[in-house]
Chain A
Amino acid sequence: MKNIIFFTFTFFLLNGFSFLNGKAPESSDQCFVCHEQLGGVADLFKKDIHFQKGISCAGCHGGDSKTDDMDKAMSKSAGFLGIPKGDDISLRCANCHAKKEMMQKYGSHLPTNQLELLKASVHGKLSTTGKEKIVQCITCHNAHGIVSVKSPASPVYPLNIPNTCGKCHSNAKFMQTYNPSLAVDQVAKYRTSVHGMLNAKGDPKPAECASCHGSHGIRATADTKSQVYALNIPETCSKCHSDAEYMAGYKIPTDQYAKYAISVHGKALLEKHDVGAPACNSCHGNHGATPPGVESISKVCGSCHALNADLFSSSPHKQAFDKEKLPECETCHSNHAIMPATKAMLGVSKEAVCSKCHTESKSTKGYFVAQKMRSYVDSLDASEALALKLINEAEQKGMEISETKFKLRDAHQAKLEARTMVHSFNEEKFKEVVVGKGLAVTTASISEAKEAVDNYFFRRYGLMVSVLIISVLSFALYLYIKQIEKKQASKIS
């Protein structure tokens, strides 16, 4: 009897608390009634959004939650499933989360393709044990204390995501079992980035892991469908950085993508699909993304344009730029809208970048050097154009000139070399490349092409002469035959 009184008291007490907590299943969820007494997961479940939406334990674990008979409630006939393990966990979640009508029943407008995305993701494809995939829903969302992703308490709330991902990705021992070559310093680097520092200050807007890699459908960076695949990076970054409204509070421009897209780098990557071309992360870094400072720009550009950077560092411009605190490469080439380096940049015309500092009125040595360097390039261009014209003419006339045509490629090579050598800002060295190599080739090509064209006319004149000689000879022979035959005819008659 005492037991009955105690049970009845407890039952009413618990139900009374549940009622006070909100919409939670009261007397109907007998699982919760008992498990709450045991503490642990039931305490976590109280804070769970599912609990608050009125979903009982049986929603995931099966069984009959309406009966207080434990044997009946947890019997196979009542559909009791127990603790789901391995891939069953995600399937159990998808039981509701993959069904639109079910989600709408609970007033949720969440997407219903999470499992589908997870299965296609690197987390859903790979396995360390061979029995189950690396990541299940609960790996990131927790099991019994699941709260809305918008709640700061959620492990997948923007401010918590770096640590949530870092649980595995910063764990060298765990990562070794799955991908030994993958770095484990992403979170550490992230904390040094502008994004990471703002995130640490409690700003949920800057990019965290999921902003760039996605959430459920994370793919390997080498996967062309990955948001961080080389070709997709500019677009991924631009989702935030080109959104003026989103970026309003950060006081930075939002035209980087537009400028990058028309740049030599952007065209190579986005139009020619050259994955070797630099994307945003090539200069800014990826996890540790930060704008390069004035002093580090040449190092960043120099990681690809090594020769140019070396030449610049040993040129007189290095000291001058440092003195004026001018960003090295950017001063002439700009940053995001880097255009192909044509000869228009060189010289003292209005379009030339040299004339930004070197003006005639100042009569600096640089002004005259720039003027001369431009004149060498102009001479090479004119000479190359003439050589090409003559080669084409000779080719059209059917002359064999392929060797000269091949040789002329060296002039183009000299021009490419000159583009690098210009960073030495040394007239003699530049002249050696443009005149010593380039003009020497074009001059020889012009001479050979002219010879081929002359040879063409020589052949025709030669033909005229030989045809004439042979024709005269033929006619003489014809007359001789006629003479002989005439003699023979007169002999016979």
Chain B
Amino acid sequence: MKKIVKSFYDYLDERLHLEDLVHFMGKKYVPVHAHSIWYYFGGVSLFFFIVQVTTGILLLFYYKAGPDLAFESIQYIMSKVQFGWLIRSIHGWAANLFILSAVIHMFSVYFEKAYRKPRELTWISGMLMLFLGMGFGFSGYLLPWNELSFFATKVGSDIAGAVPIVGESMKILMRGGPDVTGATLSRLFGFHVALFPGIFTVVLGIHLLLIQRQGISEPMHFEHLEQKEKKTMPFFPNFLLRDLLLWLVMLNLLAILAVFFPAELGHKADAFGSAPAGIKPEWYFLFMFQSLKYLPAHIIFIEGEVLGILLFGAAFALWLIVPFWDRKSARGEKNRLITYLGIFAIMFIIVLTILGWVA
């Protein structure tokens, strides 16, 4: 067996010069410290993305976009297609877990200030992928064309429509018209399976390339340590195998969730029906949705909802460009303000999500 593997490797090496790559990877090291665990969430996010692409392609074999066929095709996938239920349930769960692991990854980078020079672009590309992930979630949510997804899309696009100046155009762009119709379904389907994956793949490529090129960020206190004092582990094979181990654990988790909590379908969307009671967006939009609900109708001269959207927009913009205004971290100094802001953001998200969940 070993002989066969070696001869195959030699065959490839002769043509692709794999030895160079192995040599390059062999020189890569991952810092080992108290917070090393957070390094794995980037890999976990990648794993969920791969699962999404795989299950998404499988679903595409049977899914038919269109108000007359979408719901029925999902029904067919869930009841007739061999393991269709499993593929759809895994797709649904992996989508949620992808956002969760990406958020954890983003906060770990934030608290470690790993975005500091020279990794500003890595941070920006990561944030873009997180936003795209949310876009995937929003666009994919409508595809089953059921009551819940129909009205959630309506509410979600209405909120986007409240943005001053560009809101209405954004809403039309999202809906493909003034209302949520079959045109919205076709449009969001296009976003979900073509536009977003295309952009995401490019950004992911840049993100991974930057990581390979710049190496994994060291914690700030490493800068004050001697080379000998820095604990590290080889990226290949140690870190990669550990990542693989975690992927297997996640695969198990996905299988358990998909079997015990399979994706539901509900009732087919009816544009003339009434919205289901207590309609809520996906959990990762819930904190924003709940915050907007708490705002009064008018704050001074501006509508509460509009002000809320503007504030969230400003907060996300500031968060995105944190490497450029956090000059202290860039200089290698501790910046407590950033840490406190991060803790506040996490507390805010958790509390508002819980409030939204129980409301």
Contacts and interface: CB of A to CB of B under 8 A. Distances in A.
A474 B79 CA distance: 32
Given A466-B255, A467-B256, A470-B251, A484 B85 contact: no
Given A398-B262, A460-B259, A463-B259, A485 B244 contact: no
Nearest to A466: B255
Interface stretch (A89-97, A259-267, A290-298, A400-408): A400-408
Contact of A484 (B241, B249, B251, B252): B241
Interface in A164-194: none
Interface string A48-82: 00000000000000000000000000000000000
A481 interface: yes
Nearest to B78: A400
Given A400-B78, A474-B249, A474-B252, A480 B262 contact: no
A477 B252 contact: no
Contact of A470 (B233, B242, B252): B252
Q: How large is the interface on B (under 10, 10 to 19, 20 to 34, 35 or more residues)?
A: 20 to 34
Given A463-B256, A466-B255, A470-B252, A477 B78 contact: no
Contacts of A452: 79
B75 A402 contact: yes
A470 B245 CA distance: 10
A349 B55 CA distance: 60
B238 interface: yes
Contact of A474 (B234, B245, B259): B245
Interface string A387-407: 000000000001111110000
B255 A477 contact: no
Interface string B63-105: 0000000000001001100000110000000000000000000
Interface in A445-493: 452, 459-460, 462-463, 466-467, 470-471, 473-474, 477-478, 480-481, 484-485, 488
B255 A478 contact: no
B248 interface: yes
Interface residues of A, number: 24
Nearest to B259: A463
B133 to A, nearest CB: 25
B164 to A, nearest CB: 44
Contacts of A463: 255-256, 259
B272 to A, nearest CB: 21
Contacts of A485: 233, 238
B78 A478 contact: no
B265 interface: yes
Interface of A is mostly: helix
A466 B233 CA distance: 31
Contact of B79 (A403, A471, A481): A403
Given A460-B259, A470-B255, A484 B79 contact: no
A38 B190 CA distance: 99
Contact of A480 (B241, B248, B256, B264): B241
B237 interface: yes
A474 B78 CA distance: 30
Contacts of B241: 477, 480-481, 484
Contacts of B242: 481
B251 A400 contact: no
A459 B238 CA distance: 35
Contact of B245 (A400, A401, A478): A478
Interface in B226-254: 233-234, 237-238, 241-242, 244-245, 248-249, 251-252
Contacts of A484: 237-238, 241
Interface string A405-432: 0000000000000000000000000000
A477 B244 contact: yes
Contacts of B255: 463, 466-467, 470
Contacts of B249: 474
Given A398-B262, A459-B259, A473 B75 contact: no
Nearest to B262: A398
Interface string B42-57: 0000000000000000
A460 B255 CA distance: 10
A401 B79 contact: yes
A32 B258 CA distance: 103
B252 A467 contact: yes
A153 to B, nearest CB: 63
Contacts of A399: 79
A452 B252 CA distance: 24
A403 B81 CA distance: 14
A471 B256 CA distance: 12
Q: Which of B86, B238, B245: most chain A CB closer than 10 A?
A: B245
A231 to B, nearest CB: 29
Given A400-B85, A463-B256, A470-B252, A477 B245 contact: yes
Interface string A363-401: 000000000000000000000000000000000001111
A474 B256 contact: no
A457 to B, nearest CB: 11
A473 B256 CA distance: 16
Contacts of A403: 75, 79
A471 B248 CA distance: 8
Nearest to A470: B252
Q: Which of A400, A460, A463, A470: most chain B CB closer than 10 A?
A: A400
B75 A474 contact: no
A473 B244 CA distance: 11
Contacts of A481: 238, 241-242, 245
A478 B242 CA distance: 8
Top 3 nearest A-B pairs (CB, nearest first) are A400-B78, A400-B79, A474-B248
Given A467-B256, A488-B234, 19 more contacts: A398-B264, A400-B75, A402-B75, A402-B79, A403-B79, A452-B79, A459-B85, A463-B256, A467-B252, A471-B252, A474-B249, A477-B241, A477-B244, A480-B241, A481-B242, A481-B245, A484-B238, A484-B241, A488-B238
14 contacts: A400-B78, A402-B79, A459-B85, A462-B259, A463-B255, A470-B248, A474-B248, A474-B252, A480-B241, A481-B238, A481-B245, A484-B237, A484-B241, A488-B234
